[in-house]
Amino acid sequence: MTLKKVVLIGGDGIGPEVVSAAVRILENLDVSLEFTEAQMGFECSKRTGHFIPKATMEALERSDACLFGAVTTPLDQKQRSCILYLRKHFDLYANLRPVKRLHSSIGLVDLDMVIVRENTEGMYTGVEHEDSEGVTLERRVSEGASRRIVRRAVDLCKSEGRKRITCVHKANALRKSDGLFRRIFFEEVEGQGLEVKEMLVDAAAAALILKPKDFDCVVTLNLYGDIISDEAAALVGGLGFGPSGNVGDKYAIFEPSHGSAPDIAGKDIANPIATMLSSAMMLQYLGEKGQAARIERAIRLGLEREIKTMDVGGEYRTTEYTEALIKLLDEV
Ligand code: ATP
């Protein structure tokens, strides 16, 4: 592997703890990575006056990928979410969220699926107009964004050997916008050799619990993807088990799907698995499929041997868990 440049952004809350844990694993794999640490977020704004310093953006521009922890966005501040800014800036239009139950002792439901969430428009345009009566939100669904996210999902199905693709929408209520997304979906999946399904988002939320085997690859709009992926992560063990990648055509940022969890920050009890699995997705993106697979295998082996953190009934603190996992890497 040629040397790849990776920017590490711990951010706020448990972000720095889970990113350091993932980096300890990466350092013990046979990969050639050069890390640059960069700052971002609420704590950074208190130190530097900026949520997103210029030096951080420059480091990101020079790198091949980024591993991101989490950033707190206080609701009383004008600042928009840093990760939303980065997704837009780098046009990271696909949010990939694999959801897999890694062991029968963890979670409630046997899921092995990937959610491909449109990442640039939908409900998250951030364009809100106030008038004397209230607020109107611009919810955008475009043909171009719909087409490229469905294409990305089809490509993913092919590369991962997934056979069924489900479009999750709410076109019965949002006839024009979700209707457009649905129409593009059916155009793009035609003749791709996949089993094609569609589901209303409310029905999908129930089916994830009742008929988990129905799901393989889901492609959906921004808000729906955000909500059902947290639900799906909860079903396979909690937010500590939800990795994600924000992927565009030229750049990608990988992050756990949980937030900064300030309630448990600094206590050495956060579950770093979501970030470790996100770093595995990053390795895969950088062309290191074999090394990426070792991370998941070590985590599975750990769960078999009761090596787990406290959020899932284990006894290991974050740092203890990480060191135990490094030892397991020799076996996988
Ligand atoms: P933010 O405002 O940054 O989204 P939040 O606390 O509102 O932060 P999350 O960070 O997504 O939202 O988490 C919700 C709760 O889930 C946390 O308060 C924490 O108790 C738990 N949690 C989240 N991530 C983890 C983790 N990696 N390990 C253990 N518990 C976690």
Q: Could you read off the pLDDT tens digit of each residue along the chain, which spans 332 residues?
A: 689 999 999 999 999 999 999 999 999 999 999 999 999 999 999 999 999 999 999 999 999 999 999 999 888 767 788 998 999 999 999 999 999 999 999 999 999 999 999 999 998 888 899 999 999 999 999 999 999 999 999 999 999 999 999 999 999 999 999 999 999 999 999 999 999 999 999 999 999 999 999 999 999 999 999 999 999 999 999 989 999 999 999 999 999 999 999 999 999 999 999 999 999 999 999 999 999 999 999 999 999 999 999 999 999 999 999 999 999 999 99
Read off the amino acid at residue 198. E
In the beta sheet, which residues pair with residue 220?
117, 168
What is the position in ligand 1's atom list of the atom closest to the CA of 275? 27
pLDDT of residue 79: 77
Same domain, 112 and 224: yes
Q: Quick one: which H or E segment has residue 245?
A: strand 243-247
Same domain, 116 and 148: yes
Number of structural domains (the chain) is 2
Same domain, 153 and 269: no
CA distance 94 to 90: 11
CA distance 213 to 35: 39
User: How far is the centre of ligand 1, averaged over its atoms, from the C-alpha of 108 (Å)?
Assistant: 19
Asked if 82 and 71 touch (Cβ cutoff 8 Å), the reply is yes
What is the position in ligand 1's atom list of the atom closest to the CA of 71? 3
User: How far is the centre of ligand 1, averaged over its atoms, from the C-alpha of 310 (Å)?
Assistant: 14
**Domain boundaries, position 65:** 1-92+244-332
Q: What is the DSSP string of 73-101?
A: --TTSSPPPHHHHHHHHTT--EEEEEEE-
Decide if 231 is inside a domain: yes
pLDDT of residue 1: 65
The residue from 235, 257, 281 where one domain ends is 235
Same domain, 255 and 323: yes
Same domain, 323 and 251: yes
Same domain, 46 and 158: no
> Nearest 5 degrees, angle CA 97-CA 160-CA 271?
35
Same domain, 11 and 35: yes
Residues flanking ligand 1, CB < 6 Å: 14, 18, 70, 72, 239-240, 258-264, 270-271, 274, 311
Same domain, 151 and 193: yes
**Bridging pattern class, strands 33-38 and 4-11:** parallel
Decide if 224 is inside a domain: yes
Of 4, 12, 124, 216, the catalytic one is 124
What is the position in ligand 1's atom list of the atom closest to the CA of 274? 27
Same domain, 71 and 117: no
Number of Cβ within 10 Å of residue 13's Cβ equals 25
**Both structure tokens of 307:** 């090596």
pLDDT of residue 73: 87
Same domain, 225 and 294: no
**Both structure tokens of 128:** 């809100």
Helices (H), the chain: 15-27, 42-48, 54-62, 82-89, 143-160, 177-189, 201-210, 222-235, 273-285, 289-304, 318-328
Of 64, 216, 226, 285, the catalytic one is 226
Decide if 147 is inside a domain: yes
Q: What is the DSSP string of 34-57?
A: EEEEE--SHHHHHHHS-SS-HHHH
The residue from 169, 204, 235 where one domain ends is 235
- Residue 202 annotated to the active site: yes
Terminal CA-CA length for the chain: 20
Same domain, 39 and 142: no
The residue from 175, 210, 235 where one domain ends is 235
The closest of 99, 94, 195, 194 to 152, measured between CA atoms, is 94
Decide if 20 is inside a domain: yes
Decide if 102 is inside a domain: no
CA distance 109 to 212: 7
E strands of 102-163, at which residues?
112-118, 128-130, 135-137
The closest of 10, 36, 12, 30 to 21, measured between CA atoms, is 10
Decide if 100 is inside a domain: no
Decide if 103 is inside a domain: no
Asked if 292 and 327 touch (Cβ cutoff 8 Å), the reply is no
Q: Quick one: which H or E segment has residue 247?
A: strand 243-247
CA distance 204 to 87: 26
> Nearest 5 degrees, angle CA 185-CA 197-CA 241?
95
pLDDT of residue 11: 97
Of 202, 249, 289, 327, the catalytic one is 202
Decide if 193 is inside a domain: yes
- CATH number of the domain that residue 153 is part of: 3.40.718.10
